[in-house]
């Protein structure tokens, strides 16, 4: 997957961010339908934020997300938007999650990914599944 550079009149940019967050108390996100729905919601939300999904990776107890974003959104707003929208919709669709005061923790990890190819990021993300 070739990454596209963002450009407007005075500049050209490539801003990759590696984002990680987890559910409250590191609970398992559950497999199957819930994880599939979560990934669908993240893919639907990305265009609203003018982000390109480079490598979404759902782990049993956390989520890795590498996005290529425009400078209009700072990382904490991107994470907040993803967490807020996914929590709201998933908790409506899976009523047993409504018992929890919130689905996601307030914390998250963000790191710039620099100028790394999408394939390198994807390989790193896939390698996270095999770690013990």
Give residue for tokens 């689905």. Answer: 103
**Residue 22 included in any domain:** yes
Query: Residue range 6-35: average pLDDT?
Result: 79
What sections of 2-66 are H helices per DSSP? Answer: 33-45
- Give the domain extent around 53: 6-130
pLDDT in the model for residue 115: 60
**Residue 56 included in any domain:** yes
**Residue 1 included in any domain:** no
pLDDT in the model for residue 80: 92
**Residue 85 included in any domain:** yes
The CATH number of residue 54's host domain is: 3.30.70.1290
**Residue 90 included in any domain:** yes
Has residue 74 got a pLDDT over 80?
A: yes
- Strands across the sheet containing 109-112: 51-58, 63-69, 15-21, 109-112
**Number of domains composing the chain:** 1
Has residue 129 got a pLDDT over 60?
A: yes
């Amino acid at each position: 997957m070739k990454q596209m550079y963002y450009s407007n009149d005075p500049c050209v940019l490539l801003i990759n961010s590696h984002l990680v967050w987890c559910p409250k108390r590191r609970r398992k996100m559950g497999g199957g339908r819930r994880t599939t729905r979560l990934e669908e919601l993240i893919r639907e939300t990305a265009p609203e934020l003018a982000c390109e999904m480079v490598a979404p990776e759902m782990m049993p107890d956390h989520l890795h997300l590498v996005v290529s974003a425009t400078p209009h959104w700072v990382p904490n707003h991107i994470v907040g938007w993803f967490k807020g929208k996914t929590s709201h919709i998933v908790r409506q669709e899976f009523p047993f999650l409504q018992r929890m005061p919130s689905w996601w923790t307030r914390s998250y990890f963000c790191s710039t990914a620099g100028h790394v190819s999408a394939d390198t990021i994807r390989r790193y993300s896939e390698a996270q599944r095999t770690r013990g």
